Amino acid sequence: MALRTERDKDTGLALVTLDRPAKLNAIDLDTAGELAALWRELRYDESVRAAVLTGAGTRAFCTGIDRGVEVPQPPSPYALDDPLLRIGPKANDLWKPVIAAVEGMACGGAFYLLGEAEFVVASREATFFDPHTTYGMVSAYEAIAMAQRMPYGEVARMSLMGTAERVSAERAYAVGLVSEVTEPGGAVAAALRAAAVIAGYPTDAVQGTVRAVWAAKEAARTQAMAQAPALVALGNLPPDRQAELFAARGGGGAPRVR
């Protein structure tokens, strides 16, 4: 199992940990399936009233899809299968609040998860970046998710700068992606404290509020997401060329942290 879940019936909390630290908590197909199954399961678990999502270790929250994964694609140019589209709580109709706790890197496909969390708590050493353009890929779903949380210029800069630049936790806090910055190693504890407060309130009111806040941006997000498959199909380099660029990574020096 690549997912570790701890439930505390006394507090009503679940701590969900992406448990692939050797892979920087990258998501393979099994992990994607485990996440979707867990969110659906939590819909029926009345003992859980709020959840915190984090990654194992201190190097990364999540670095997106595992580069070793092969995702079969339908032959039609009008269809695109993305295994990360179902990994978030909202995609699985879970309206219990989920708080993300970020230590280390959060990049690429991690934004599918951050985009469906109620808010994000991050360690001072956390960084956020989107590597897609560097490797000849369109940042579509990721950029759309972040456009619901960050100003246009900040999303555009992060998406276009690729691996050359990383957004610090302080900058992410300043632009609204992160709601609280902690000392290193403190993100999970801070997220659990906030989740415990929320879990102590009447659950129907909490879930209704989660749904209401999501509804405020859902229409625009749905319309934008509908454009993503065509943009990806048109703009992505062939997989073998992407692999060449990925294999050559690190040649441009250390990324700037902003």
Q: What are the phi and psi torsion angles at 231 (to 5°)?
A: -65, -40
252 band by pLDDT with thresholds 50, 70 and 90: low
198 band by pLDDT with thresholds 50, 70 and 90: very high
96 band by pLDDT with thresholds 50, 70 and 90: very high
Question: Coil, helix or strand for 202?
Answer: coil
pLDDT over threshold 90, residue 244: no
How many angstroms separate the Cα of 120 from the Cα of each of 54, 111, 144, 153? Answer: 10, 11, 17, 20
pTM score of the predicted model: 0.91
Per-residue tokens: 87: 């990994």
User: Quick one: what percent of the chain has pLDDT higher than 90?
Assistant: 74
Of 164-178, 185-199, 212-226, the least confident = 212-226
pLDDT over threshold 90, residue 225: no
Q: What is the pLDDT of residue 242?
A: 84
pLDDT over threshold 80, residue 79: no
How confident is the model over 123-152, as pLDDT tens digits? 999 999 999 999 999 999 999 999 999 999
Determine the Cα–Cα distance for residues 91 and 78; give it in Å rounded to an integer: 21
CB atoms within 10 A of CB 220: 12
Strand partners, 122: 102, 181
Mean pLDDT of 159-164: 95
How confident is the model over 109-121, as pLDDT tens digits? 999 999 999 999 9
Angle between helix 187-199 and helix 203-235 axes, rounded to 10 deg: 130
How confident is the model over 52-77, as pLDDT tens digits? 999 999 999 999 988 777 777 777 76
Q: What is the pLDDT of residue 254?
A: 83
Please state whether 127 falls in left (phi above 0), alpha (psi between -120 and 50) or beta: beta
So what's the architecture of 3-187 in CATH? Alpha-Beta Complex (3.90)
Domain residue ranges in the chain = 3-187
Determine the Cα–Cα distance for residues 243 and 245; give it in Å rounded to an integer: 5
Under a CB-based contact definition with an 8 Å cutoff, are residues 70 and 196 in contact?
Answer: no
Q: What are the phi and psi torsion angles at 89 (to 5°)?
A: -65, -40
